[in-house]
Structure 1
Amino acid sequence: MENEKGESSSTFKMDNSAQERSLPYVPDCYAVPPSYEPRDALDSNSEIVPTIDISRLKSSDDERRGVIQELSSACQRFGFFQIVNHGINQNILDDALEVAHGFFELPAKEKKKFMSNDVYAPVRYTTSIKDGLDKIQFWRIFLKHYAHPLHRWIHLWPQNPPEYREKMGKFCEEVRSLSLEIMGAITESLGLGRDNLSSRMDKNGMQVMAVNCYPPCPDPTAALGLPPHSDYSCITILLQNLTGLEIFHPSAHGGSGRWVLVPEVKGVLKVHIGDHVEVLSNGLYKSVIHKVTLNEEKTRISLASLHSLGMDDKMSVPYQLVNNENPARYRESSFNDFLDFLVKNDISQGERFIDTLRIKD
């Protein structure tokens, strides 16, 4: 079927999507369903979105305990927090955003070198979520690549822009060190000790970079950059150049919940709690449901660094958090299990990996 613009309303293929071609209208296949409503977001402020000074983890014992308590509260209430004073130089953040933008500005033939719909590929460029298979398409272009251990993967990354590997590699190294520090604080907040997972994540853990581009959309109310979803990872650390990230605040409106727009403050990083920390906490901490809205005039770039255990290393509920009154509520699973789920399911229809892990009473 073709719409009045003469374009197919069913789907677009890679390298031919509406967002890549800068179409001046939003085709039917990008229309979001009513189930994604309400689309309005609450304007955010510091009282709504938790902001944590992560440098205090290295202060006195009392200071560290205070940060751990703040972090625990944020993980329980939101599954999300922002961090300041994280120790990563602003030049490193700016350089990573710059080379990411530069990659998406390359001629199509350069980006085609990495084009793939194989979710298992260690480096792939594509659009939407699963091109040609999604019932709904999303106004997004992205490059995903593995980043740990860096020496194993960096030779597969783009060589253009010329400084991509150097500058994105530096960002990946810095944010990975930060992820280990944050994960240590999370396991400590659960009474498991700060070293509970750090050695497993440090030696064999996975780091996946999702380098996202959301081009200007002619009608931001008609489409989304990404649908409501949660990340499979332990944590995701996000850097963005513009607002567009919205998180779901489940306890707002008397428990009915509401979407909250996350503000963009230069140098601030966002931390998402993922499905595997929900499993680790036996449900005390919740993986945050989030989505991406669009801008009519500007291109939004986001760098999402997803951190998890190794490809086949299983996350399970630790025995310390299980007793007769509080049984294990989740099955064990790995990053590879998530990839298998992604192949077989359509997250644009609201299907979530974490739902497959819950043990029914």
Structure 2
Amino acid sequence: MESPTMKLICDLPSANSIPDNYVLPLEKRPCNQELGDDLSVTLPVIDLQETLGHGRQQIIGEIMEAGKEFGFFQVVNHGVEEDVIKGFREAATEFFRMPEEAKLKYYSTDMSKAFRVFSGSITSHTDTNDIRYWRDCLKIRCYPVDKLMHHWPSQPEMFRERLAKYAVAVKELGRRLLGLIAEGLGLANHEFFEGGLTGGDMMMNVNYYPACPDPSLTLGIRPHSDRFILTVLSQGDVSGLQASYKGRWIRVQPIHNAFVINFGFQMEIVTNGVLKSVEHRVLTNSATGRLTVATFTRPSMDCMIGPAPGVVNEGTNSPKYRTFTGDEFTEAFEATTGRREPLLDFFKIRHTQ
């Protein structure tokens, strides 16, 4: 077992200012990137209740429109029971409330572990100065449940059971959404995303952002785009998530029991640029802590990933990206530190005249 070398943020002594290694360079601070939210724009909210009824085609159209315009949307009446969402969020909150020694025994920087805790996700801004971000995180491989459950902690009580129920329900929601997207793309096979493209272990980040003494100096998570096919986020009732839209940051307003849906780089490549992977970030606040649960649908590492055959053609919509494996994508993501243009450029096809 690794020896913890740091405290979790939620266990730091209360202070009137944040530690120096959480203070962002001036140009990276949220108050200097944009002056607040653009409140004139809100993300689409899509009601999934009629996906099996007469409203199915309208819902598919709304999903595709939101994916093209924003790369983000929220869903309600999604089929995941409120008790399942609330139950796991409560169990995760109890985990963060456990004594420091109980949590830190899970602290690890080993990304291969099925359950680990880390804090202050590090990003290097200079060769000698590592900046941390204001969050603690449980990183969990959460599906298939039967394969992975024994890696999860047995405390707090009911954590495993509630996580299992939540993971199964969110996996099914993701499957439904991807089926609707396959229809929206005009693919003959509505189960196109089944198999290798969603065959990797489903990953989960349970993020806890403690109340921050000075939110103007730091961020909970830096601006970034997700890497995988689909992200399903339970953000709770406390705001903090912002998505990039036409050069501005727009607030993703909390909606009770809703999920926020967004796409990763791999979805943008599979759809040949039709659906966008959009940058987003997390602000902190000084009044209260915030807990979110982000679940990522991932391909198997040996899966071949590239523009879907039904999306591209030899005429007006030729492939923009080459085909690659999940392993190759991971290597490219790490080499480019996930920066949008260098990463997509790595897989672009150079068309000759």
Fold equivalence (TM over 0.5)? yes
Aligned match for 1:297, one of 287, 299, 317: 287
**1:269 maps to which residue?**
259
Give the conservation status (yes or no) of the 8 Å contact 2:122–2:131: no
Give the conservation status (yes or no) of the 8 Å contact 2:139–2:205: yes
**2:56 maps to which residue?**
64
Percent identity, aligned pairs only? 29
Aligned match for 1:152, one of 135, 147, 151: 147
- In the alignment, the residues of structure 1 paired with residue 277 and residue 12 of structure 2 have an alpha-carbon distance, to the nearest angstrom, of 34
**2:321 maps to which residue?**
330
Alignment of 1:6-17 (within 5 A): 14-16=5-7
- In the alignment, the residues of structure 2 paired with residue 103 and residue 332 of structure 1 have an alpha-carbon distance, to the nearest angstrom, of 41
**2:158 maps to which residue?**
163
Q: What are structure 2's unaligned runs of at least 5 residues?
A: none
Which stretch of structure 1 is more off in the superposition, 281-290 or 35-44? 35-44
- Letter matched to residue 19 of structure 2: P
- In the alignment, the residues of structure 2 paired with residue 27 and residue 355 of structure 1 have an alpha-carbon distance, to the nearest angstrom, of 37
Query: Scaled by the length of structure 1, what TM-score is found?
Result: 0.86
- Letter matched to residue 67 of structure 2: C
- In the alignment, the residues of structure 1 paired with residue 5 and residue 118 of structure 2 have an alpha-carbon distance, to the nearest angstrom, of 6
* 1:335–1:31 Cα change, 3 Å: farther
SS in 2 for 1:243: coil
Give the conservation status (yes or no) of the 8 Å contact 2:103–2:117: yes
**2:121 maps to which residue?**
129
Q: What are structure 1's unaligned runs of at least 5 residues?
A: 1-12, 251-256
Quote how far apart the aligned CAs of 1:248 are: 0.7
Give the conservation status (yes or no) of the 8 Å contact 2:206–2:291: yes
Alignment of 1:105-144 (within 5 A): 105-130=97-122, 135-144=130-139
Quote how far apart the aligned CAs of 1:149 are: 1.1
* 1:108–1:352 Cα change, 3 Å: farther
State yes or no: 1:189 paired with 2:176: no
**1:249 maps to which residue?**
245
Aligned match for 1:357, one of 343, 347, 353: 347
**2:205 maps to which residue?**
210
* 1:141–1:332 Cα change, 3 Å: farther
Which stretch of structure 1 is more off in the superposition, 351-360 or 69-78? 351-360
- Letter matched to residue 267 of structure 2: V
Give the conservation status (yes or no) of the 8 Å contact 1:280–1:317: yes
- In the alignment, the residues of structure 1 paired with residue 181 and residue 142 of structure 2 have an alpha-carbon distance, to the nearest angstrom, of 22
* 1:197–1:80 Cα change, 3 Å: same
Give the conservation status (yes or no) of the 8 Å contact 2:42–2:251: no
Cα root mean square deviation, aligned? 2.4
**1:285 maps to which residue?**
275
SS in 2 for 1:147: strand
- In the alignment, the residues of structure 2 paired with residue 319 and residue 230 of structure 1 have an alpha-carbon distance, to the nearest angstrom, of 25
Aligned match for 1:31, one of 23, 27, 32: 23
Quote how far apart the aligned CAs of 1:153 are: 0.6
Residue deviations 1:226-254 (CA, integer Å, cap 9, x gap): 0111111111000022111111113xxxx
SS in 1 for 2:254: coil
